[in-house]
Homo-oligomer: A and B are copies of this chain.
């Protein structure tokens, strides 16, 4: 599911208990340092907007961010809103599962709409 796209980047949702999105460059690159400087700057601007909107909409305990792509070496940035009672907290989402809870979160579609609008305004 594509939440946002323009000529340089696209944003997808990761299916998870928590709010979790992935920012991709349209052109594939192996490492962050391989992304052309101007696009790299834009990538971090996009990250900043996503983080900000996630904080405002979900009021999470913490934002987590990661870039691995070990299986398929194509740079993308994970942005995750973490809550004290999510299944893995305080572990990273790739760590040991600690519990099995049902989070009460606001409607994600409204978040995606808001994020899409904000990114369209600033980019």
Chain A residues proximal to chain B, CB less than 8 Å: 30-33, 40, 44, 47-48, 51-52, 55, 61-71, 73, 82, 89-92, 94-95
Contacts and interface: CB of A to CB of B under 8 A. Distances in A.
Within the oligomer, what is the number of copies of this chain?
2
B55 A32 contact: no
29 contacts: A31-B55, A31-B63, A32-B47, A32-B48, A32-B51, A32-B63, A33-B55, A33-B63, A40-B44, A40-B48, A44-B44, A61-B70, A62-B69, A62-B73, A64-B66, A64-B67, A64-B70, A65-B66, A65-B68, A66-B66, A66-B67, A66-B68, A68-B92, A70-B89, A70-B92, A71-B90, A91-B94, A92-B94, A94-B94
A30 B48 CA distance: 14
A70 B82 contact: yes
Given A89-B70, A90-B71, A92-B68, A33 B52 contact: yes
Contacts of A91: 70, 94
Contacts of A51: 31-33
Nearest to A90: B70
A32 B73 CA distance: 25
Nearest to A70: B90
